[in-house]
Chains A and B, each alone.
Chain A
């Protein structure tokens, strides 16, 4: 199949067939990642810029590993300390990047819509590695891949997304993708951390975790940002964890074989109890491995798009 998209900005761009194709491709790269020599020449001669205007060790490393295993040359550009971004407008940054003639740019940015902004101005592929509160498509895809690996498919499964939904790009992308792939989605968190218009998302919303967790097949914890407390959205972390920390007693109320996910980095004891994070039901480390598989699939699909068309 010819990959129809120049950029990956949000999972909302993907059809069900597109999403399944990405998961299929990820599966084939998973095999490569289990070999003793984990390197293939698929993207030899291609250059990928990793432009992380907001710090992220995990996602950036994952993309870096994915690119290198496909033999692409990866270049990192961080916001801090780089003269490139010092007070410079995003438009000028884009023009600078364009002049370096990369084949692809992976971008993380603290402003919603930033990925679309640069994609509209660049000829090369743009992969959104998280923009503001808006979208984190590669995280959603790796979560879906992790769950597919566990279950064989998402059809008919129920996934609870737990925590700060309002400010979460992971939640926004997952709500859409999980439903696209046939899962039921629930949300749970304090009302201060839900979008005011959450009704328009047409998913059940709970504020009581013990009720929300009943019968679910997976719980997806979101990371809690400390500044939510300073912004007056929460009393304190202890109070939050009393109400919303995912732990073993709560897991017992979920469906049999319920699994727990977290996009990381985790705050042990806040969003997830320490023993929960280390339990066999925890897929946190599987998510990290899946991240490399999925990102290899994405780099492959988006960076070889033109050649395939010809």
Chain B
């Protein structure tokens, strides 16, 4: 057994925070977790005093938009990964709707190269390849080439595939390669991406709303296809109770479906759009209190497997327009853990469900590094102060995207340190 080169002392595990532990790491992997003080740190090992901070596996975000190449004024891989690190993410998957679209190996390779150069210690970046060329929904993208270049999943995110035949063939083709497909569920005929729920608020503000059935109908299609083909489908950023009901029924029948939701659907409702607040304009839109409750329950019982931020940075001037003109999206990497931890602190979500959804399930679904603090696991972890408070201001965010409806809010919970493969990142 190799000798520890890093020892984190007096940390608290989320499951039993009263008992302090020491984490021993060797060559980027976990050696073991022991009662604090029970093992002496070997000579020469770096010793980090955690002083009672929570020790958690680093988070995995399977759905972010980093905007590079093509829209570097919104975000770059460097700024996006800095924001990810600040938020406690050890791994992030970036969507293919860049410009040009990530539909060929050189784009994937460029992304990985930019990540390696700006963040050699991590967070780990895993590009998602386009499902169809140019995300146009007409011709399948060269998935084997993209997989070989480093893509961990395929998705048409941002441009939902409404052609069911094409989507079926894409699932079949991707399954040959053993790479999961992520679908952005939205029937674009039923509602263009208007960024506000069809409901009380849209009716009053005089805005065209997006009905929850636009998501649920496509989610139902995907569940049926997954069952019919016996091929896994991962449903992105689920926002509504109706979709949850569809997914729960499909899972009960054994369909290989997994799903994610985002922190903003758990903490906000359509009311956040009052006053034409473009920072609350997101696709799918923020829904109702009933939807929010259903999503919390679905996370708790595992119907929804994972949390993801759908981090979608935009420049301030792009959001400073009338509601209809503003692009959809919320910048979410840095506020994600704080707001979901607050849900746990309030008893709306268990800590177990939170760790399962932020760490365990996303890694399992996409075959990414997973740290359960077992010997041999990658030493990807964070030290988290669940009581520290911070204010969401443009200056406080490392992302170029300051577009969050949480601006001005005081949040609880700060990531004090992130380690990826035993190396201190931030």
Contact = CB atoms under 8 A, between A and B. Distances in A.
Contacts of B24: none
Nearest to A91: B320
Interface of A: 89-91, 109, 111-114, 116-117, 131-135, 169, 172, 195-198, 200-201
A112 B200 contact: no
A250 B317 CA distance: 52
Contacts of A132: 206-207, 322, 324
Interface of B: 198-200, 202-209, 211, 275-276, 317, 320-325
Given A113-B322, A172-B204, A200-B200, 11 more contacts: A89-B317, A91-B317, A111-B323, A112-B276, A114-B322, A132-B322, A132-B324, A134-B205, A195-B202, A196-B198, A196-B209
B317 A197 contact: no
In the A-B complex, the 7 residue pairs with the closest CB atoms: A134-B206, A113-B276, A133-B206, A195-B203, A111-B322, A197-B203, A112-B206
6 contacts: A90-B321, A109-B322, A111-B325, A112-B276, A113-B323, A132-B207
Given A117-B322, A132-B324, A196 B206 contact: no
A135 B206 contact: yes
A196 B199 contact: yes
Contact of A201 (B203, B207, B320, B325): B203
Nearest to B322: A111
Contacts of B207: 112-113, 132-134
A117 B321 contact: yes
Contacts of A116: 275-276
Majority SS of interface residues in chain A?
Answer: mixed
Contact of A172 (B198, B206, B317, B324): B206
A198 B317 contact: no
A112 B205 contact: yes
B203 A200 contact: yes
A183 B30 CA distance: 73
A197 B199 contact: yes
Contacts of B205: 112-113, 134
A177 B325 CA distance: 29
Contacts of A134: 205-207
A109 B325 CA distance: 13
A152 to B, nearest CB: 31
Q: Which of A112, A114, A134 has the most CB of B within 10 A?
A: A112
A131 to B, nearest CB: 8
Contact of B206 (A91, A169, A198): A169
Contacts of B202: 195, 197
A95 to B, nearest CB: 11
A22 to B, nearest CB: 22
A67 B276 CA distance: 30
B206 A90 contact: no
Nearest to A118: B322
Nearest to B276: A113
Nearest to B325: A111
B203 A89 contact: no
Nearest to B211: A196
Given A113-B276, A116-B276, A89 B321 contact: yes
A146 B203 CA distance: 27
Contact of A112 (B198, B199, B321, B323): B323
A71 to B, nearest CB: 33
Contacts of B325: 90, 111
A172 B322 CA distance: 19
A112 B204 contact: no
Contacts of A200: 199-200, 203-204
A196 B203 contact: yes
Nearest to A165: B203
A106 to B, nearest CB: 17
Given A134-B205, A197-B199, A197-B202, A117 B324 contact: no
A4 B276 CA distance: 23
A172 B204 CA distance: 7
A131 B200 CA distance: 18
Contacts of B198: 196-197
Q: Which of A113, A132, A200 has the most CB of B within 10 A?
A: A113
Nearest to B273: A113
A195 B325 CA distance: 21
Contacts of B203: 195-198, 200-201
